[in-house]
Each structure stands twice: as structure tokens, then as C-alpha cells.
Amino acid sequence: MKMAFKEMKKSKSKFLILGSIIFLVSFLTFIISGLANGLSMDNAALIKNMPSGHYYLNEDANAKYNLSKIDEGLQKDVLAEHPEATAFSIQMGFFNDAEDKQHSVAFVTSTESDLFQYVKDGEIVLDRTLEKEGVKVGDILTNNQFSGDFKVIGFVDEQKYSHAPVAFINQTNYQEMYRVMEMQTLFIPGKDVPAISGLDSFTNKGFLDTIPSYSAEQMSLNMIIWFLVIISGMLFAIFFYMMNVQKIGLYGILKAIGMKTISLFQMIWYQMIAITAVSLVISIALSQAFNLVAPEGMPFSLTMNTVLTLSAVFLVVGFIGATISGFQIKKIEPLQAIQQGEM
């Protein structure tokens, strides 16, 4: 360990360059991860905040929730058999506020359940982002597809769907607005859920994938994240490979005088861990600071859990990269180094 740190101290610029690159890559990864998570919440917080369970769509909907219609009789039977279950529907739409300003929302209605905000006829509960847009409790909202008015009775946190704030309305109002009697989806919480004839079932994750654009959006961002993680591992492998090539003579002599190969590997590992740890600490601090000052409208959510998971992945990938580069140390013959001359 002493030797590893001595080398880092003596060759500061070399290790600073590597550290800076790892910092930039990890910082970028954290920011993109924050954006991916932010966009994911912006797109589907309504579903992501649900407990684990199974979602049911009718078979004819081809795994597209907006094409699904649950037969009313079947819904009645399932809800009777599973009192904790609920049926719900989501449709994109808009309302006009008291100043006739239009706001896009995702209208959500459900059967009476603890899982969704249940509101009475003519009432509406909105996501809190609309409060920031000037809507207040007691405001009267209108919609050209609805003959009556909605009275705002409250706001809820983190209820978004398809990048729009959610508006919880009563089932009869929803039926009038969208001229449909059936609900789109059934949800039964819990792990052991039944197969229901005529319906396809989806896990929470599976249901998220039925949301148009959700999986495409997340897949692109996740691919960037994993590319960055792999790039950081490759950086370690390339950096240490080049360093090792320069130090073949030194390693050979150290082997000649009796140093164990594992001690040389340990030297690389200590250096890798030190560089990664320092780079990650700076990245974490800056990304958390960015979390606090991110612009209001930017969907950004970076939890400590995500940061720590990604940090652990960085360390593992860095370890693999450094170890792969170290395999050449195993092959070094002391004799070769002695014959090479001065290092």
C-alpha cells in the first residue's frame, strides 16, 4: 500500500489526469442517472408509487393500456373476490382554470380504494406542480368535454403520468368526459395473484413498459449510463495497461528480488480504489449539489441509494479493468527486465 501511494505522490500529474477523467465520467453518469430517474418519475410516478402487485389488461388490447376495456361484470367479480383490488383508467386531457388558462393533465379515475385519491362527483385533486402554476384549493376548473365544473379540493405530491400532472376525478365525471363505461385496468396488490381468464397480467415493471415511450426513453438513458460505466472500466484497464508497459522493467526487478506477484496486483488495486473513491466523492458531492439547484422544470431525481449503487458498480468495474491490465504482470519474466537495462 505504501508503495502504491508513494507512486501516486511522485507521479501526481499522471494520476490526476486519470482521476479527472473518472470524475467527469462518474459525474456525467450521476447526472444522466438523475435525469433518467427524473424523467421516469415525470412519466410514471403514478404507477411507480403503487405497491407491488399485478395489473390486468384485456387480451384484445395487445398490451396497450389505452386500448384496454375491462368487462364490467368481470370487474365486479374480481373486486368482490379481492377487496384490496381496484380498477382504474387514465386519459390525457386538459382543463381551463379560473383565468381560462389551459393546463394539460392526465385524468385518473378509480373505484373506491386506498391506492388512489377518491373524489366525489364534481371534485378534483391535482398534482402539486399545478399549485405552483397558480391553481388554488377552491378554484373552479372547466373542461369542454364535461358539462359541469370541477372544484379543486386538494393537492398531492409526486403524482405524474406521461410527463403531465395527474388530476383525480370521479368515475361518473370520467365516463361523461370520455364516453366510456368500462375501466381500462385492474390492479391487485400482492405477490401471489390469480390468472384471470381473458385478461393479460403485468408486473409493475411490465405495466410501465405498456406506457407509450416509457421504455424507449428509459432504455436510451440506461444505455448511456451503462456505456459510461463500462467506459470507466475500460479507462482503468487502458491506463494501467500503459502504466504497466512502462513499468515492465521495474516489476521484473521487483519479482527478481522476491516480491510476490499478488503484491504488485495489490499496488494497482490500491491505486484504483484511491482514484475511484476520491473521484466518486467529488462526483457525489457535486451531483447532490446539482440536485438542490436543478432548474424547477427539469425532471431530475438523484437518490442517495442510486448514487451508492452506481458508486459500487464503478468500483467493481474499475477493479475488473485494473485486474485485467494486471494480467500482463503475471507474464513478466524477471530475466527479461534485467536484460532490458535501466528503467
Partner 1 sequence: METFIIEDVTKSFQNGEVEAKILKGVNLTLTEGEITALVGPSGSGKSTILTIAAGLQKASGGQILFDGDDMTAMSQENIRKVRSSEFGFVFQSSHLVPFLTVEEQLDLMLDVAETKMDKKQQKEEISRILKLVGMDHRKDAYPPSLSGGEKQRVAIARAIIHKPKILFADEPTASLDTKRKKEVMELIHELTKSLGLTTLMVTHDDEMLPYADRVITMRDGVIV
Closest approach, Cβ 277 to partner 1, in A, equals 21
Q: How far is the CB of 321 from partner 1 (least distance, A)?
A: 22
> Which of 137/343 has CB closer to partner 1?
343
Query: By the 8 A CB rule, do 235 and 321 touch?
Result: yes
Judged by CB, which is closer to partner 1: 225, or 272? 272
User: Is 202 strand, coil or helix?
Assistant: strand
Distance CA 66, CA 127 (A): 21
What is the sign, positive or negative, of the torsion defined by CA atoms of 132, 307, 325, 7? positive
- Whose Cβ is closer to partner 1: residue 140's or residue 256's? 256
Q: How far is the CB of 249 from partner 1 (least distance, A)?
A: 7
Least separation in angstroms between CB 255 and partner 1 = 8
Tell the smallest beta-carbon distance from residue 267 to partner 1 (Å): 11
Q: Strand 164-169 relative to strand 160-161: parallel, antiparallel, unpaired?
A: antiparallel
Q: Minimum distance from CB of 257 to partner 1 (Å)? A: 6
Q: Which CB sits closer to partner 1, 253 or 313?
A: 253
CA–CA gap between residue 237 and residue 251 (Å, rounded): 17
Is 11 or 303 the residue whose CB approaches partner 1 more closely?
11
User: Rounded CA gap, 233 and 239, in Å?
Assistant: 10
State the residues that interact with partner 1 by CB under 8 A. 3, 6-7, 9-11, 249-250, 253-260, 263, 333-335, 337-338, 341-343
What's at 243, amino acid-wise?
M
Nearer to partner 1, 160 or 255 (CB): 255
**Helix ranges (DSSP H) in the chain:** 2-10, 12-48, 72-81, 129-132, 171-178, 204-209, 214-246, 248-256, 261-293, 304-331, 334-340
Query: For partner 1, which is the closer residue by CB, 154 or 249?
Result: 249
CA distance 32 to 18: 21
- Between CA 249 and CA 337 the distance in angstroms is 4
- We find the least distance from the C-beta atom of residue 15 to partner 1, in angstroms, to be 11
